[in-house]
A = this chain, B = another copy of it.
């Protein structure tokens, strides 16, 4: 590898507006792709890096039983830098043209891991206070990262289970601060902006409609609605969004955090029970932290249980096929006693 090369590169297809990351810093030799994945990941907590957190370098944030603390002696949730970052701090973007159709730049930003203490308890099995602590930690790091120069968007996401791409069994989330807003996010923002102009925000109006229709609602509490969307992309997809119009996740109040923790925990427990601890991905969409205010946006979390694999049709045509009506999935989840 060229030693002058930044260890992770963003590449833009100018014609489509799509970016990819070539994470050469964690590059593997071509031969290493040969190993057949059998879907199993290290389950023992004896050798688990995250159980032995003191070997993982300086933590960025430590919580112990609901409170921020200094030092790693006692912890219940901790944030550390990702050892194999896709985004890395730097002052130089070094943006360059490549031929007529492409551009490259350094994948500048931050990439962190949020770890909860118990190796064997995924989020669905945590207490309300423990889930609230995770939300506190998300919010704390989110607020810190959006203030950094060069970070225009902060992605919080969580992969549970090997089928959902989790490469470490110990429960953990990831937070990435990235320098740009991708085509898909731009499209979502443009859509929200357009519909906000015509009246209320599109999510507010959809939530109103869903509350009237009732059949896709999975759960609601004081501040949040969880539902299986009308155009679900996978069976048992759930979206959790605030009832009030909230554009920026960083402005979440203490009360809303309590309420979000309850909604999250309830939905994850229902999925756990209904589908037998399914693999899943979840992620936040919120207004970017670039120079625009994006007040028209409405933040929300999307949970995608790995109930199927997007294959040639989905990848080629861009239309997802699922084999259960969202109405029936929602009813099934609604009726799960947890």
**B23, B209, B313: which contacts A101 (Cβ < 8 A)?**
B209
Q: Count chain B CB atoms within 10 A of each CB in A19, A166, A206, A311 and give the residue with the most.
A: A311
In the complex, are the beta carbons of A316 and B16 less than 8 A apart? no
Does A307 make an interface contact (CB < 8 A)? yes
The 0/1 profile, CB within 8 Å of B marked 1, for residues 168-194 of chain A is: 000000101010001111011001001
Contact A332 B30 (CB under 8 A): yes
A283 interface residue, CB < 8 Å from B?
yes
> Is A317 a contact of B185 with CB atoms below 8 Å?
yes
Contact B231 A315 (CB under 8 A): no
Q: Does A269 contact B (CB under 8 A)?
A: no
Q: Given B86, B231, B311, which contacts A159 in the complex, CB threshold below 8 Å?
A: B311
Q: How far is the CA of A327 from the CA of B126 in the complex (A)?
A: 45
Q: Is A146 an interface residue (CB 8 A)?
A: no
Q: Are A86 and B313 in contact (CB under 8 A)?
A: yes
Is A312 engaged at the interface, CB distance under 8 Å to the other chain?
yes
Contact A324 B231 (CB under 8 A): no
Interface residue count for A (Cβ, 8 Å)?
96
Residue of B nearest to A232 (CB): B20
Mask, A91-119, CB within 8 Å of B = 1, is: 00000001111100000000000000000
Chosen A-B contacts, 24 in total, with CB atoms closer than 8 Å, are: A16-B187, A20-B231, A20-B233, A22-B326, A23-B321, A23-B323, A24-B323, A33-B324, A34-B274, A35-B276, A99-B230, A101-B209, A101-B230, A153-B317, A157-B311, A157-B316, A164-B309, A165-B308, A174-B312, A178-B317, A184-B317, A185-B317, A302-B315, A304-B315
A contacts, CB < 8 Å to B: 10-13, 15-16, 18-24, 26-28, 30, 33-39, 86, 98-102, 153, 155, 157-159, 163-166, 174, 176, 178, 182-185, 187-188, 191, 194-195, 202, 205-206, 209, 213, 230-233, 235-236, 274-276, 278, 281-285, 302, 304, 307-313, 315-326, 328-329, 331-332
